[in-house]
Amino acid sequence: MNILVTYASMTGTAEFVSEELHDQLEGMGLSSTLLDMGDLDIEQIKAFDKVIICSSSYGAGDVPSNGAKFYKALTEAQLDLSSIDFAVCGIGDGSYVHTFCGAAKKFQAALQQAKANEFSEALFHDCRKDDEPEVKAVEWVTDIFAGCPT
């Protein structure tokens, strides 16, 4: 199984969490590639069996700048990504009730609209309640891939 972990991050938190996810997957004997979303295009994701998108938000639930081009590509074209299996890890502050994990939810909705298959329930982590999103994310990804063949 070949897994892509990609991130959209403004302050580095989602990048750090993605690095931890990547390391955990590799430690489980799974093949994982870590890419900054700013270096990613739609065609590249088709080469992976599973895609994990990790995103923080900024402003009013906006997509971080390094994810803007990828998000725009997801939403501008009539895409058929039915061959893509994805999961979303969102990092946010729950005190922003209406925009909590807004960017991650935007990626999730765009991928669903493009007919991609969500292979796991999303993780929407509230850093206000727990300031170690990497711990929750590693538990989440471990549960998802436990028992998967390497």
CATH classification of the domain holding 72: 3.40.50.360
Describe the chain by its helix, strand, coil percentages, rounded to 5.
Answer: 40, 25, 35
Contact 67, 37 (CB under 8 A): yes
**Total-model pTM:** 0.93
Residue 40 lies in a domain: yes
More confidently predicted of 142 and 92: 142
Residue 107 and residue 88 in contact, taking contact as beta carbons nearer than 8 Å = yes
Amino acid at 34: L
Domain enclosing residue 119, as ranges: 2-145
Q: How many distinct structural domains can be found in the chain?
A: 1
- Residue 106 inside a domain? The answer is yes
**86 domain-assigned:** yes
pLDDT score for 129: 76
The answer to whether residue 73 sits within a structural domain is yes
Please check the confidence at residue 150 and state whether its pLDDT lies above 70.
no
Residue 47 lies in a domain: yes
Does the residue 150 lie in any domain? no
* Lowest-confidence segment of 18-32, 42-56, 68-82, 88-102 by average pLDDT: 88-102
Mean pLDDT of 48-56: 95
Q: What would the mean pLDDT of 121-138 be, rounded to a whole number?
A: 84
**Residue 105 forms part of a structural domain:** yes
Q: CA torsion sign, 2 to 119 to 146 to 138?
A: positive
DSSP, res 58: B
Dihedral angle of Cα 80, 40, 123, 10, to the nearest 10 degrees? -140
